[in-house]
A and B are shown apart, each in its own frame.
Chain A
Amino acid sequence: ETGVTQSPTHLIKTRGQQVTLRCSSQSGHNTVSWYQQALGQGPQFIFQYYREEENGRGNFPPRFSGLQFPNYSSELNVNALELDDSALYLCASSYLAGTSGYNEQFFGPGTRLTVL
């Protein structure tokens, strides 16, 4: 069974640019969530995608957007990069079977984004 993978591992961009981060979900999972982890802090929930649609969002501006593809891989896009966007970006996949119960999230290793 393949775990959650993310690419690239590291990325350096300049302020104002756009970036796309990629995530491949664990086999059999239909949900992907993205988190931002600034240095020295806990991860912050950005949004979640279920069956190719956003079904939950945290306190992040619209310039943070995402896509989920039929094969359950996912992208996180950030436009107009700001210095404060420098962080580790984590994706997590899970299998959402319904509206009750617990669905464990499995995390990828993250993409380290540096904005200069």
Chain B
Amino acid sequence: AQSVTQLGSHVSVSEGALVLLRCNYSSSVPPYLFWYVQYPNQGLQLLLKYTSAATLVKGINGFEAEFKKSETSFHLTKPSAHMSDAAEYFCAVSLKTSYDKVIFGPGTSLSVIP
């Protein structure tokens, strides 16, 4: 069975500091991997996706993630945190079967301290 774990339910960083949100997945076959962001009282917005092309994926708002097969990881980073980055972040995995099913991790709440 496929699953996603996110280390740290809450992460706090200072404005301007590095953001690192951790994600590990389990999958029997190479998956598609995603990071979504959710702002309060809003739906999910796709930050970036890995679909078996380049292992370093660049997304919106300065975020990027690196797919490491040997570590089954897909950590999300941003060099310099901004106040507007405060939100809930979800790592997700999808396998291409007869239908698209996205499995989400439990989420990490990011706080940015001024």
Contact = CB atoms under 8 A, between A and B. Distances in A.
Interface of A: 4, 31, 33, 35, 40-45, 48, 50, 55-56, 58, 90, 92, 94, 96, 99-110
B100 A94 contact: yes
Nearest to B90: A42
B33 to A, nearest CB: 10
Contact of A102 (B96, B101, B103, B107): B96
A40 B49 CA distance: 23
Given A33-B100, A42-B105, A56-B97, A102 B51 contact: yes
Contact of B43 (A94, A100, A109): A109
A99 B99 CA distance: 8
Contact of B102 (A40, A45, A110): A45
Contacts of A101: 96
Contacts of B94: 102
Interface string B30-45: 0010001000001111
A31 B90 CA distance: 22
B104 A42 contact: yes
Interface of B: 4, 32, 36, 42-46, 49, 51, 90, 92, 94, 96-107
A102 B45 CA distance: 17
Nearest to A42: B104
Nearest to A103: B100
Contacts of B100: 31, 33, 48, 56, 94, 96, 103, 105
Chain A's interface: helix, strand, loop or mixed, by majority? Answer: loop
Nearest to B50: A102
Contact of B101 (A40, A41, A58, A100): A58
A56 to B, nearest CB: 3
Contacts of B98: 55-56, 99
Given A99-B96, A100-B96, A102-B49, A48 B43 contact: no
B90 A43 contact: yes
Nearest to B4: A42
A56 B99 contact: yes
B43 A90 contact: yes
Given A90-B43, A102-B51, A107-B44, A41 B99 contact: no
